[in-house]
Structure formats: structure tokens, C-alpha cells
Chain A
Amino acid sequence: MSVLSAQNLRKSYGTQTVVDGVTLSIEKGQCFGLLGPNGAGKTTTLRLLLGLIAPDSGQIQMFGQAIPQQSRAARQRVGVVPQLDNLDPDFSVLENFMVYGRYFGLSAADITARVPALLDFAGLANRADAKIQDLSGGMKRRLTFARALVNDPDLIFLDEPTTGLDPQARHLMWQGLRRLLNQGKTIILTTHFMEEAERLCDRLVILDHGRLIAEGAPRELIAQHIEPCVTELYGDDIAHWRDNFAAQLCARHENVGETLFCYSRDGAALMQNLHTQTHLRYLHRPASLEDVFLKLTGRELRD
């Protein structure tokens, strides 16, 4: 059953088309990734899906309700973790839950009953009375995440949830996400970390210039777009090596700055050759979602 679906969404600002014919469908219990370089239209797509802004054309259905017309009812079952923490700095941890819960029309008793589980989820079990300014960046991020669960949502939106977190905090965040998925929640996630998307997402789309340019499970996308093995070569002599061996040993290769990327089916012959080239440094690894992402969206900077 589709929890959230959108058909042919379009949104322009002036002459610039930010979202250009996006169609997607998210099934119950899925972790769905929305990837794309900066300015690809991810945030605008999220805002459209939440019913915060109206599309120029296209339809959105969330829990069977038309968005944005019935977004008030639909958002009753949604939790949102924004890109930047917007906790209430004047309140304690506990007060943040209480105040936020009331926006969903929850009674004080309902919220109070949920608080221990939320504190536990945020790893702030004994910090209920702490002030927000006394929390570390990671704690605030976890609290923002827990706050989004105050209404026990069925669908959770996370906009770059792990940006700026250290590896410990990021792994904790991933565990939290998996716990929610195990409970049958549906998650829609934007991220710039391909490793994160590869680990967590059941399905994902890559958005560029407002259009969907790829869609599928992470493994499928890798298999579809990239040879299974990637070898990165570094050093002064790579040009020489490339001219002599690349065409023969790699299915495909590309030069990026000082690095030569070689894509191959199994890489056995390539590795054998490299063992003899002691002056070259290299990294041999399986193809990843990041390779797909860079292949599809290009390597030039987006600002």
C-alpha cells in the first residue's frame, strides 16, 4: 500500500523550474531516499510533499488524503526532522516535548506517557530538565529527532539527519532509524552521504535539475550503472600507466584531477598488473552508490 505518492509534480519560481515532473510512490515500511546535488530540488520536493507549498501542477496523496488541501489531517500522522535544529531554546528538554505535542492536539497526559520512551530514544534519559543551550550539537540533533516522534507518526521525514554529526552520533542515528523501520514506520530521507543511503534505503531516487534521473534499490542502481569493481589509482605516473594498460584492463576509465578511476568486471587481471607496478598507489573496492551518483550528476561543483 502506498503511504505517499506524487504524480508529475511541477514547481517553478519565476522562469526557473525547480521541480520538473517528479513522480514517486513510497510503500508502507520503506526507507525511501531522496538524493541529489545541492539545488537539485530536494528541499522543494519535501516541502511539496508535506503540503507546505502548493505545486504548480501535479497531485499528491498522503495516507489517502489530497495534499495540500487536506494536509492538516495528513500531518497529524507525520513527524519531521528538519535540516537545521529548531528546538525551542527557552525551554527544557521536557518542555520541548510538551509544547510540541500540544501542536498535535495531544493532552498533557498523553505526552507525559510518551516522554520516557522519547528520552530513551534520544539518549537523554536523565536530562529531562536540561536546558537546550546546555546540550551538545549531537544531543540537540537527537532531541530534534525524538521530538518528531512525539505524535507516534507513521511517516517520518528526515532532511539531512546526519549532516554535521560525528561517526558515533551518526551510527546512533542509523540505529534509531532501523528501530523505527522495524516498528513498521515509513521513512523518507534526504542525504548527501551515499554510504548512508546505501545502508538504509530500500529504494531511492536521484534528483537533478528538478528531474528524477534514477530510481531503484541501491544495489540495483549500482548494478545497472557501474561495473562491479572500482580501482582508484594515485600518483605521478598514472598517465603513463593509463596509456599503456587502461584500455586493455579496464572496461571504462576516467581521470579526475590526480586520480584515475578504473571500472572493471572482476578486476583480477588489473590487480595482477598493479602488483607489479610498485610505484603506483591504488585502492581497489566494490562499486558504490557514490560512483553511480557522480556518474549520473557529474563531478562539477553545484552551489
Chain B
Amino acid sequence: MARNYFTPPVLSLRFIPVWRRNYLVWKKLAIPAILGNLADPMLYMLGLGYGLGSLMPSVAGVPYITFLAAGTVCYSTMNSATFEVLYSGFSRMHVQKTWEAILNTPLTLDDVVLGELIWAATKSLLSGIAILVIIWALQLQASFWLSLWIIPVVVLIGFCFSGMGLVMNAVSPSYDFFLYYFTLVITPMVLLCGVFFPVSQMHPVLQNIAQFLPLTHAINLVRPLMLGNIPTQVWLHVLVLVAYGAVGFYLALGLTRKRLLS
């Protein structure tokens, strides 16, 4: 009798102790962790934005650093969520057997995976906000009040890429496997979705492909907010991000149940 591992998630507030566990570990190394997470995207943003930007007249009608700032928020949030569920999540699931310890308590795997999802989204929110603070300090945003709307979008981006990354975590035999995800999914997405240059610069076929990728929709929300405009087709973009995250979470949960509970 084959059990169906892909039944709907059973969600409960029992995920909170899992979230708190990860938060407590993070808190011990919070300052170096924030600086470490921030340094890389910030250097790219400032280096390329001012360095490369000085060679360009303007991109999409604004200075390159301003254009790049919105991309960096999305890119940094995506990376933070992805790294957390892939490398840290895999440590907890496979290497340290933290999940196994938790499953011997009244918590279920559904609680654990939900806790990981929400934790990774939380951590990526911190990364997104850290970049935003730099952006505010440099006054790169057109309107401070409008740019505050970027914060809920960052939550959505974190949710989306945590859900997607958890699928990789569920099927990975080792850390090395994650390299495929980065080279085949994350890096192409960064290049195709308008982080560094407008999607409109690409061949129409690539532009069409980009419309199906979640990072494009993240940037379509964040960039107008950075440039002082209200985004168009807000619900479409929100829906795509939610759908990628939710489908990812559902698949990840089913695959993880199959991996650990069979």
C-alpha cells in the first residue's frame, strides 16, 4: 500500500518553536551574519553602480546606481532565502539531524518545514532591509514613503525563494548538488530578470522567458517603488510570487515527507 506523501500541508502554530530555534542560533552571530550578508550585494551595488554607472548616461531614464538599487534589493533577498534553506536547512535536516530530533517530539514534519520556510523568509527580510538602509542613507530612492512598500514585497520575495529552495533541499544528496541550482536556476535568473540591465534590452524570446520567472515579477514591483512610481499589474506580480512560493512549499513538503517518513 503506497502512502500518498503529497496530501495538503497540515499547518499549525507549532512551527513557532522551530522558528525560534533558528532565530536563537542566528542571534548568537547576528552582527557578523548581517555584515556578511550585506557586504557582498552592497559592494556589487556600489562598485557597479558608481563604477560602471559613471560610463553610462542613464539606464531606463535614471542613473545606473538607482536602477541597480532595486535589482540589488531583490537579488539580495533571493540569495539570502536560497542560501538559508539550501545550506543551513540541509545542515539541520541531513548533517546535524536536528529535524530528526524535533520529529521525536509532538511536532510533525509539516511544522518543521513550515518553520524553516518562515525562518528563511524572515532572514531574507533582514537582508532586504539591510540593503534598503544603505539605499536610504545614499538617498537613492525617489520617495521614502513609497519605498517603504518595498518591505512587504521583500517578505513576498523571501517566501517565494524559500519555497523554491526547499524543493532542492528535499531532493539533494549532498551540499554539492546545490551548485546545479545556482548555475542552472539562480544565476541565469539574475541575468534574465532585469537585475543589472532592463529586460527590454534582450532578444524577444528571452524577454518572453523572463516573464515566467519569479525574479522578473519581484523586480517589476520593487523598481517602480524605488523610482517613485506605483507599479502596474500589482496583483499579477504578487500572484506569481505567491504561486512559486506556495507550489514550491507544497512540492518540497511532499518530497521531504517521502525522504524522511518512508
Contacts and interface: CB of A to CB of B under 8 A. Distances in A.
Contacts of A52: 103-104, 261
A221 interface: no
A88 B106 contact: no
Contact of B25 (A54, A90, A105): A90
Contact of B105 (A87, A89, A104): A104
A76 B24 contact: no
A104 B102 CA distance: 10
A104 B103 CA distance: 11
Given A54-B3, A99-B17, A91 B25 contact: yes
B96 A103 contact: no
Interface string A95-108: 10001101111000
A75 B106 contact: yes
Nearest to A85: B97
A57 B96 contact: no
B107 A103 contact: yes
Contact of A105 (B1, B18, B97, B106): B106
Nearest to A57: B1
Contacts of B96: 86, 88-89
Given A86-B98, A86-B100, A53 B106 contact: no
Nearest to B28: A90
A100 B25 contact: no
Interface in A48-102: 50, 52-54, 56-57, 72-73, 75-76, 78, 80, 82, 84, 86-91, 95, 99-100, 102
Contacts of A73: 106
Interface string B1-15: 101000000000010
A34 to B, nearest CB: 16
Interface in A89-132: 89-91, 95, 99-100, 102-105
Interface centre among B24, B101, B262 (most CB of A within 10 A): B101
Contact of A104 (B21, B97, B98, B106): B106
Contacts of A84: 97
A103 B108 CA distance: 10
Contacts of B103: 52
Contacts of A148: 104
Nearest to B107: A103
Contacts of A87: 101
A148 B101 CA distance: 10
B261 A103 contact: no
A100 B24 CA distance: 13
Interface in B92-131: 96-98, 100-108
A179 B74 CA distance: 57
A80 B108 CA distance: 15
Contacts of B100: 82, 86
Interface in B21-74: 21, 24-25, 28
Given A53-B262, A88-B96, A103 B102 contact: yes
Contacts of A105: 14, 17, 106
A225 to B, nearest CB: 34
B212 to A, nearest CB: 37
B220 to A, nearest CB: 38
A78 B25 CA distance: 26
Contacts of A75: 104-106
Given A56-B1, A57-B1, A91-B25, A103 B97 contact: no
Contacts of B3: 54
Contact of B106 (A76, A86, A89, A157): A76
Contacts of A91: 24-25
B261 A86 contact: no
A50 B105 CA distance: 10
B98 A100 contact: no
B216 to A, nearest CB: 37
B250 to A, nearest CB: 20
A293 to B, nearest CB: 28
A206 B104 CA distance: 24
Interface string A119-154: 000000000000000000000000000001001000
A155 B69 CA distance: 57
A82 B104 contact: yes
A63 B96 CA distance: 31
Contact of A86 (B1, B20, B97, B108): B97
B95 to A, nearest CB: 10
Nearest to B12: A72
Nearest to B21: A99
Contacts of B105: 75, 100, 103-104, 151
14 contacts: A50-B104, A52-B261, A72-B107, A72-B108, A75-B104, A88-B98, A88-B101, A91-B24, A91-B25, A95-B24, A99-B17, A99-B20, A102-B20, A103-B17
Q: Give me the 9 closest cross-chain CB pairs, A-B, nearest first.
A: A103-B105, A80-B104, A86-B97, A102-B17, A86-B101, A90-B25, A75-B106, A72-B106, A56-B1
Interface of B: 1, 3, 14, 17-18, 20-21, 24-25, 28, 96-98, 100-108, 261-262
Interface of A: 13, 50, 52-54, 56-57, 72-73, 75-76, 78, 80, 82, 84, 86-91, 95, 99-100, 102-105, 148, 151, 157
